[in-house]
Amino acid sequence: MKKTLTTLAGIAALSSLTSFGAHAQSNDMTADDSGFYVGGNYGYLRVEGEDDFDDDKDVWQGLLGYKFNEYVALEGSFIDFGDYGTDLAGGNTDGYTAAIKGILPLTDRFSLYAKAGQLWSETEYNLGGISNESDDESLFVGAGLSYAITANFLVNAEYTVYDAELDAEEAVDDIDDTNFETDLKQASIGVEYRF
């Protein structure tokens, strides 16, 4: 996973350097301040919780957003957190998100952003050989740095924390005192294309 992230970061850096040379004489980085965009993120997921749910996994995410202006966007996504845990106690979580995104342009090419929103997730549990499903709603916050290779194509690096409360008591009714909280922490790199 670390090699994959290093390779992807190297490709993004090389692309930005070659693109920078190609666009050095042309400062035409003007893109529409509003409009739709699509993107995707791939990265590292740290699952931290009680019991046996600590794990490190890959995560991927598809994005669809709309920029209202240079500073504010509304963003939705599908995210796959994958499998985590052990054979004794594990899970598989995926879901949908909706977030408000605040953007702070630093230069023509670099921008900081922060977002906050809601995750609607479904988790398939396996606790001691007993399987069940549970739906959950949780909040998340994230922040990142984006770099515009062109006016329409951006690369980004992002860190997001999902406060996912995985309630095993709801999933398995006959096990007492199994409530625990799990936080999903995502570090990823991605791309964004603005129409």
What domains can be seen in the chain, in order of their start residue?
2-24+35-194 (2.40.160.20)
Task: Indicate the pTM of the whole model.
Answer: 0.71
User: Average pLDDT in the 63-91 region?
Assistant: 88
- For residue 133 the two structure tokens come to 């499903």
User: Average pLDDT in the 165-184 region?
Assistant: 49
* pLDDT given for residue 178 in this prediction: 44
More confident site: 150 or 183? 150
pLDDT above 70 covers a percentage of the chain that reads 69
3-state secondary structure of 3: helix
Using the predicted structure, report yes or no on whether residue 19 has a pLDDT greater than 50. no
- Contact residues for 152 (Cβ-Cβ < 8 A; gap 6+): 31, 193, 194, 195
* pLDDT given for residue 127 in this prediction: 79
